[in-house]
Amino acid sequence: MRGRTPHNPMTDNDPHFDLSGRVAVITGGARGIGLAISERFARSGASVAVVDRDSAACDAAVETLAGLGAKAIACSIDVTKEEEVAEMTQRVVDELGGYHVLVCSAGIVGRNAFAWETSAEEWREVLDINLTGVWLCNKHALGVMREADYGRIVNIASIAGKEGNPKLGPYSASKAGVIGMTKSLAKEVADTGIRIHSVAPAVIHTPMLDQVNQETIDYMVSKIPVGRTGTPDEVAALVHYLSSSEASFTTGACFDISGGRATY
């Protein structure tokens, strides 16, 4: 993949957007974008619940966060199962003492295939994880946040949800759904202290790219004026602001982080 590696100005003692005293839940938090967010939040003072289907990866992430001085717990669940999401939500409140921030980063790309080559089972798997799972986590987080009259939710969407990527129909549809759902939920709680946003990255250099063939990656990068993939740390920086108390007069927006691909 072409392009330059960006300089990362963040240090272990970054003072901006302090999250001390906040409890954050990061789905997909054991790798890629989710792990970068988990680490950044830990450095900013948050207690973190790492949510991921991979229990070994969850445990490893929590060990990393503990090394950064953060209180953290591992929650290995399936976000498509409402009873598991409900149990995780209660566990976070009981063990970490609250629930102030939710970042939904868990997701899959699915198989690269034309619509006529895609099975209904493949369609449902991507939609279940990428959209229904996000909705369930938002639903149960809002139950706690509404009682406290405070919360921040950031749902990771994708530029594919705005423009549609060929041979990634289920993925594109799921991410479009995340953007629309986020706008709807944000309006439902706009008169409270809860703010909800989505973030739409272009292609980011994470392990998820292992699910995508090189032809598709080259196509996506070719549409990015900056000329490279993004990094998990760059996405984490944007999510950090949106998860802070400073993000108070914006809600329901979809923030692009696309290297100039999105210009609207």
Q: How are strands ordered across the β-sheet holding 72-75?
A: 72-75, 47-51, 23-27, 101-104, 151-156, 194-201, 254-257
Give the residue carrying structure tokens 């990393």. Answer: 64
8 Å CB contact between 104 and 127: no
- Hey, what are 3's tokens? 């392009």
d(CA 174, CA 263) in angstroms, rounded, equals 21
SS3 243: coil
In Å, what is the CA distance from 66 to each residue of 25, 60, 62, 100? Answer: 15, 10, 6, 20
Within 10 A of 4 (CB to CB), how many other CB atoms are there? 8
- Exposed, middle or buried: residue 106 (CB in 10 Å: 0-12, 13-18, 19+)? buried
Distance separating alpha carbons of residues 51 and 134, to the nearest angstrom: 12
φ and ψ of 103, to 5 deg: -120, 120
Q: Write down the catalytic residue from 99, 171, 241, 264.
A: 171
171 is catalytic: yes
For the annotated catalytic residues, the residue numbers are 171
